[in-house]
Structure 1
Amino acid sequence: MPQHIYYSFIRLPLVIRTLLIALMVIFLFGGLIHIIEPSSFPTFFDGIWWAVVTASTVGFGDYYPKSTAGRIVGIALIFTGAGFLSTYFISLAAAAVTRQNDFLEGKIEYRGQNHIVVIGWNERSREIVNTLGGDGMNHSIALIDETLKSNPVPHNNVHFIQGRSNKDDVLVKANIFDAKKVIITADQNKDELHADMNSILTLLTIKGLNRDVQCIVEILTSEQAANAKRAGADEIIQTNVLTSFVMINSISSQELVTSFLDLLGQLDKRKLTFQPASEEVENKTFAELSADLMKDGILLLGVKRGEETLVNPPQPFKILQQDQLIVILG
């Protein structure tokens, strides 16, 4: 039994062990001085109080030993208790600094819920993090990257996890089980095909741990988009297709591209989203519903019906209850 207690004790963190030893020393000497000099230390608590202020080198002087035996106890307490208390506070400070460094270096697991996991650090993810963590949004974010050595944006709502995103233990550190959404950006250090394969492997690992979490995946090559869909991607962003669209249209019409980029800048301050069609709007035409929504400052762009997305559908077009409305909220 004593051996079991000893092994349990040495497994405790250094700070806890040092504190327990310091407390035992204080209680031992506090009780001993009360026994030796009951006239100077009438109660056990008086002895404890004297032991604390003596070991901490404060020395108020309200209680002090008068006999030779009592002073010998005081000397022994100074040599032992002061050392243990100093060691405790030094260990406490060192533990605090170590934990802070571990937090900045991405070694501490995230314990929050309903957060957004962003995978990969590049200019796209920088913009995502700055926007999601900016004024008015303040989403909690867990950022995963294996190339960074420390948190690139040490805001209060950005928790950095260092490691490979396709490893279970790294995703568990990011608390993937309670995440609301995952954004997987393409690895800028790999060629396009290998970056897509890495993104799909990460997606498969995430879905294996949490099948229900919504995953938005950046895909660079068109042939890998189908594989990402099979792997469980809820949304696929083909950035090269979007870039090609802008560049091709810039050849024929500079004004169109400028307007398109201005539109993206405007949307950055607003919210483009889907809204389910309610029973009240069923059988209304697209034009009628668009006019009604405009009164509330909502712009109706189109309708998603099943797998088909219709932007500004041809009139007359009636809304069905199972439709999803594509709107811009003011």
Structure 2
Amino acid sequence: MTENKELTKIERELVLQYLIDDNVPLTVTLEQKPEKSDVEMVGEKIPEPEKEKRVPASAVFPVAIPSEQIKVLNQGVILLKNPARTVLPFLGKRVKVQFYFNHLGLYFITEMKECSQGLAIVIPQCIRRIPEIASKTDYDFSGKISYKAANCVVSFDCLPENGYRIFSAPKWSDLPEDCQREAKMLLEKFVQEVKEGRTGSIGNGVQLLSIVRYLTDKPDSVQEPVEGRVKPFYIIFADDKRIVLAGEEGSEMLDPEQTYNLSLYFSLAGNKLLKRTIQTKCSIENIYEPEIRSGRKCVSLRYENLKEEDVRFLYERITGKLLEEEVESTTPQA
């Protein structure tokens, strides 16, 4: 099967027979991601005429349909038996259906319809392979988080997320206007949980802006082209006290009781060959998830044994200034 190409007739027949013989789970989402202004948020009061034009928030996210709720007929029709309520908003809309065939990701575009037996999805002639997405690897900063398990070390890459102020204070204006209402509600919820003693320390709380931005941004409905790949974590905030990692559906769930080893790698400005590595242990302060399940999560980890020279390095990278005691020691005395 050629990557990102339509399957041949013979390939399609093989896939169709596979779906008939071995009911496989499907992931369904809207063909086109709606504008946030067209999404009806939970609890939002909307006049009835306008409400009909809005897409429920639950329809924005991909919905997994388990194999036991699926029956594939010889005619190439997928019947959904007793589907969850999260599937209903897709009725009458063009959807993208994704699944795995021998661990290879495939998808097709069709319309979800209603029939006498419930909801139905007609498999079209065109089935395509999920394309590989070229990843950028030329980072001046990255990391790795790891822990010991039995007789091995388990580790996960941590890559900087594009568009985030990782080493500088995030601003409210960084958030798109159409997600600020939802982000504000989430921010207030997280702050209230701290006040009530239900979550751990947040320091000055500036990292919460990056967290609510990530959680309210709607993830792309793209499955991995190959099943089973371990997804990296994304770094959305770091200072000299903590680091915030973000993960999508399929990324590892970190254990709040576990102590982790964290390595941070820096390429120094002006010369990619000059590198600086910071190694420290860290533990989880808080785990954050959105109100509506999307698979996204953020984990705030606090450094436990950061060396003084590493604190100094991070402080200078964040502020562009020397630590106060260094300034005093280098200032000529009168």
TM range (shorter): under 0.3
TM-score by length of 1: 0.21
TM-score (norm 2): 0.21
Q: Which has more strand, going by share of residues?
A: 2
| More helix as a share of residues | 1
